[in-house]
Structure 1
């Protein structure tokens, strides 16, 4: 199975939590006691549907065909103040960066960002109170108890936004996959045509003194991505979680560097204006194609408000300088 079919970043599931068990209305009886007081125990809580972060996971594939998740019901309370057993919880493990939303309202319920972090998505019904809770000076032998609370049935969306230090931004064929394959151990599919990358690729980039950072190569955008053209929203969703954006423009572009940069920036702003405030670095790729005269010309075209570097992944040109720039931006004080 290729990485493309393995990568799933969106699932819709119906979560049904367990009903709470009913409290018991038992009155104490034994061979010495004909008419004892209330000793009915509480019902057990219904099972929760919970979400748990797992740093080893990188896709929601394991949940793709699991449309219904049903937690267990709580047991009834018993005599001698015995509480009913709690219903079985259903725990769904997800990659870090997963956001849970209510499918009906679109409202974000929470997000999971740490390994082992556990949050309740659909709470189970509370168990009913046994009759001993209702004993009072005026009511010595209550013969009633609380019923258990119903569970809930909710359609939820789980959506993965990759957590990475650097997100690569550029049109298809800007050299993003090639860069990732050169600076990390990731092996993205690479070919000389647009939209080779159809799913995000993550790579660990080794830096000086055994330090490292995570780089994400995400499907290339085209003009109109923010309206959902091309791979549109699927791509842009992942950029939101990157701390630094690396804009990549090939040296053989048909436009000027400023024009291409302005179009990429506009796509991001249309989708989510907050993305514009992220730190940015510009890399001019395929610069091995440039002679000294062309290089000097293109340097005059560079946008002024962004640190930039000329690189060639194939010729290994400018790669150390690029890593230095990225490291500086990742660790710049907020």
Structure 2
């Protein structure tokens, strides 16, 4: 199979190598990957089911949580099925169109997740800083509009990634040393000057991450200032508790993102297989952590989940 990969030159197909150097361990690596993927799907589908069934949970905070669950399902599903095909069945071929489609959805869902976290921070800001106006400012219809704006932003920003690449010719070697069609890995296969592709990818990643992080920091700065003005200890603790779940989700998501990105950009001495494993964990861990954090920290949601899972 190695000889085939090294001489593959079909212009209509790319070859995903999985984790180069660890081909013999693909089956063993696939076991924890598959388990994490299934656990993440079950957790997020459970949240969607419970919120959908319970009328009392049809509130802005839970609707945003549903949108976050959908993006988590989408991001992990855009990566894992193809990776598992490589690990289990050695099905490494992917059409050029399929590769570009996967690339778009991977980055689109990542940008969408970032936008949802910002919307959830705004939700907590209004709930704490303007509680009397919460019901009028954040209606269910407005939450739907926020979700639509986040989706449109993600599509508009990420669609040029595959479009710019589709206009470029690719060299004879169509080997992608990864488990999925990662943008930079595909750019490296393009012939000629790829400055525009590289620059656009870096600028979009920086704009999305820096802008959204700045909005998150601003929201929590205002929240902390409002909380510190609360004199009642009981109200103080309740206000902080309403933000704990979102703060934990935000920290885990951005920590994993920046750790993976910095390792990829500046970890020249880090092995390629470590880069790839970390990149896959970036799509596998947030869906699990998000469902666990919200399921544990929010009592109202936790009680409803127990209602459906602990029936005799």
TM-score strictly above 0.5: no
Q: Which has the higher helix share?
A: 2
TM-score by structure 2 length?
0.22
Q: Give 1 or 2 for the bigger CA radius of gyration.
A: 1
